[in-house]
């Protein structure tokens, strides 16, 4: 039997989803587009960011939106030394859990930093907005480290 | 000040999966013969089932399949669906028919288009035959077959679908 040719081909499978946000996520994304961050207050008084659609304790719909700060505290992080093509930042960065001032839970996003050595848990960080915002989580380009003492 | 914008109600969140498919020896031989306008399968040495496109082993017996067999470009509709909704990136205009077709000589079906038919009259057991593109356009692709079209032959009983020899109904 003759040796077969080695056949190889690249292809791309695309799922071109468009999703409805619903009113709560829509409020959050509209806020991002306008340069603001909204959370929602739960039945126990905690401010959840990004806003949850339903109360984690009572499961009731949540509508009490609260604008929170654009700086916060780094609760935990994981350094990515080799970013992949799909990552927002193409230089080494950290996945970060950031609790914004006025929020009671952290949210996940990227943290831009010169090196892993520059990052410490508890550091103060700030939102760096994208130049053009469109109502998407990437309107927050990333978080950046604030100089000064950790809180 | 820019004019106020409407609230965000939708987000575009596409997912793109990038693959590099490398054909193993069995698929490569299948594609090589396909480029010559020939459909081939592989027969399992244990259970005798013929698979198209062959993967080099029998999923039922777990043994290698090495023997190529030439199949007919005539076949039988095992199942089908009428597609009425356009699919982004697909140039074919609905409504059209996508069918599972078992070629004569094989025991499993592959998916291809069925055309030159009255959609409402397509049925399981219907006999069909490939309409090939001009040979100059053949490549390593099932697109060498433009589509299948109805054949003026008697229907195949449901319990015989996928069991016809390569000679089809003539045997
Ligand atoms: Zn077998």
For range A120-127, the mean pLDDT: 98
Contact A142, A89 (CB under 8 A): yes
Query: A27: which chain B residues are within 8 Å (Cβ-Cβ)?
Result: 7
Query: For A134-150, what is each residue's pLDDT tens digit?
Result: 999 999 999 999 986 44
CB spacing of A15 vs B89 below 8 angstroms: no
Nearest chain A residue to B68 by CA distance is A1
* Pick from B12-16, B74-78, B97-101, B102-106: least confident: B12-16
Residue A5 has a pLDDT of 66
pLDDT above 80 for B131? yes
Residue of B nearest to A29 (CA): B8
How many other CB atoms are there within 10 angstroms of residue B55's CB atom? 13
| Distance (Å, whole) CA A100 – CA B138 | 60
Tokens matching residue A139: 């309107």
> At B2, is the pLDDT very low, low, confident or very high (cuts 50, 70, 90)?
low
Q: What is the pLDDT of residues B86-117, one digit of tens each?
A: 887 788 889 999 999 999 999 999 999 999 99
Domain ranges of chain B: 25-170
Q: What pLDDT does A95 receive?
A: 98
Contact A7 B88 (CB under 8 A): no
Please report how many Cα atoms fall inside a 13 Å half-sphere around the Cα of residue A140, on the Cβ side. 27
The number of residues in chain A equals: 151
Ligand 1 centroid, distance to A111 Cα (angstroms): 54
Confidence of residue B4 (pLDDT cuts 50, 70, 90): confident
Tens digit of each residue's pLDDT (9 = 90 or more) over B137-169:
999 999 999 999 999 999 999 999 999 999 999
Among B19, B32, B140, select the one facing A13 at the smallest CB separation.
Answer: B19
Q: Is there a cis peptide before residue A58, judged by omega within 30 degrees of 0?
A: no
Give the model's pLDDT for residue A6.
82
Residues 6+ apart with CB under 8 A from B14: A14, A15, A16, A17
Which residues of chain B make contact with A35, given a CB cutoff of 8 A? none
The answer to whether B98 and B114 are in contact (CB under 8 A) is: yes
Element (H, E) at B27: helix B25-34
Q: Which of B51, B49, B48 is nearest to B39 (CA)?
A: B51
Subunit contact A30:B15, Cβ cutoff 8 A = no
pLDDT at A121 exceeding the cut of 50: yes
- The per-residue pLDDT for range A43-58, each reduced to its tens digit, is 999 999 999 999 999 9
| Spatial distance between the Cα atoms of B149 and B78, rounded to a whole number of angstroms | 14
Q: What integer pLDDT is reported at residue B60 of this predicted model?
A: 95
Mean pLDDT value across residues B124-131: 98
- Per-residue pLDDT, B170: 79
Eight-state DSSP code of residue A103:
-
pLDDT band at B171; cut points 50, 70, 90: low
Instruction: Please tell me the least confidently modeled range out of A15-29, A66-80, B83-97.
Output: B83-97
Helical ranges in chain A per DSSP H = 22-33
Say what the pLDDT of residue A148 is. 63
Q: B20-54 burial, b if ≥16 CB within 10 A, otherwise e? A: eeebeebbbbbbbbbbeeebbbbbbeeeebbbbbb
**Whole-number mean pLDDT of chain B?**
94
For residue A3, the model assigns a pLDDT of 56
Would the pTM of this model clear 0.80, i.e. be above it? no
User: Which residues on chain A are in Cβ contact (under 8 Å) with B11?
Assistant: 18-19, 21, 29, 135-136
């Amino acid at each position: 039997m003759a040796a077969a040719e080695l056949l190889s081909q690249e292809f791309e499978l695309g799922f071109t989803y468009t999703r409805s946000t619903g009113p709560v996520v829509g409020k959050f994304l509209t806020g991002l587009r306008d340069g603001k961050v909204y959370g929602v207050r739960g039945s126990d008084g905690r401010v959840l960011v990004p806003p949850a659609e339903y109360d984690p304790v009572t499961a009731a719909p949540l509508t009490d939106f609260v604008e929170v700060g654009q700086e916060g505290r780094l609760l935990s992080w994981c350094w990515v030394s080799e970013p992949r093509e799909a990552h927002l930042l193409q230089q080494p960065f950290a996945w970060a859990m950031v609790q914004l001032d006025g929020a009671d839970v952290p949210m996940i996003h990227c943290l831009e930093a010169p090196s892993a050595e520059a990052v410490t848990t508890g550091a103060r960080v700030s939102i760096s907005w994208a130049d053009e915002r469109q109502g998407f989580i990437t309107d927050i380009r990333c978080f950046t480290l604030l100089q000064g003492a950790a809180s | 000040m820019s004019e106020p914008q409407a609230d965000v109600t939708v987000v575009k969140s596409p997912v793109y999966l990038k693959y590099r498919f490398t054909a193993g020896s069995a698929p490569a031989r299948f594609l090589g013969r396909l480029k010559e306008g020939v459909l081939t399968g592989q027969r399992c040495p244990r259970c005798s089932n013929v698979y198209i496109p062959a993967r080099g082993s029998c999923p039922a017996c777990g043994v290698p399949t090495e023997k190529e067999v030439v199949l007919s470009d005539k076949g039988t509709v095992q199942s089908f669906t009428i597609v009425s909704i356009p699919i982004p990136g697909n140039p074919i205009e609905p409504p059209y028919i996508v069918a599972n077709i078992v070629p004569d000589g094989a025991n499993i079906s592959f998916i291809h288009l069925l055309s030159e038919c009255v959609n409402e009259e397509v049925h399981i057991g219907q006999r069909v035959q490939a309409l090939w593109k001009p040979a100059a356009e053949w490549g390593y692709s099932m697109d060498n077959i433009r589509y299948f079209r109805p054949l003026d032959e008697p229907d195949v009983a449901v319990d015989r679908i996928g069991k016809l020899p390569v000679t089809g109904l003539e045997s």
